[in-house]
Structure 1
Amino acid sequence: MPDSSADPSAPRRRGTPIVPVLIGFAAALPYYLLFIKHPDGAFDLLSLILAFTGGIYYGVALREGSRRRLIAEALLGGTLTLIAALSLWWTPLWMAAGFALHGFYNLAHHTGAMKHGIRHWFPPMHAAWEWAIAALVVWFTMRF
Structure 2
Amino acid sequence: YAEDPDNRFFPSPGLITHLERPTGPGVRLDSGVYPGWTVPLDYDPLLAKLAVWGPDRETSIDRMLRALEEYYVAGIKTNIPFFRQILTDEEFRAGRLHTGFIDEFFARRSAPAPPDAMTEAVAVLVAAIHSAAEKPAVEEGKNAGSRWRAEGRTQLFR
Q: Which of these two proteins has the greater Rg computed from alpha carbons?
A: 2
* TM-score, normalising length: structure 2: 0.23
User: TM-score w.r.t. structure 1 length?
Assistant: 0.25
Q: Which protein has the bigger helix share?
A: 1
Tell me which protein shows more strand as a share of its residues. 2
